[in-house]
Amino acid sequence: MTKSFKRVTALLAVVGGSLMLQGCLVGAVVGTGAAVVGGTVKATGAVVGAGFDAVTTSDEETKAKREREQREWEREQRRCEQRQRQGKDC
């Protein structure tokens, strides 16, 4: 009981600290924390996964952001073309 409590405490410290880190460092820290704990406490896998998801961007989110930026750029280009037809600067 004491051994698993120490492991859970260590994992929580690692996950808590990893939330303050950036990008790929988070993956390394969380991966190391998960390797240290191993399979002794199954509930911690959800904690590690939630911590990792909280600080990373999925491919879908990245694609949606890129598409949104592209639409905004195209919209601005159309507005600029309309202003130029009216003899105004962009």
Residues 6+ apart with CB under 8 A from 30: 14, 15, 18, 48, 51, 52
Mapping DSSP to helix (H, G, I), strand (E, B) and coil, where does residue 86 land? coil
Helices 23-37 and 2-18, packing angle to 10 deg? 180
pTM attached to this predicted model: 0.38
Instruction: Report pLDDT digits (tens) over 19-35.
Output: 666 565 555 655 666 66
Average pLDDT over residues 50-67: 83
Report the b/e string of 50-59 with b at 16+ CB within 10 A.
ebbeebeeee
pLDDT band at 70 (very low <50, low <70, confident <90, very high): very high
Average pLDDT over residues 61-76: 97
Domain regions of the chain by residue span: 1-56, 58-90
End-to-end CA distance of the chain: 69
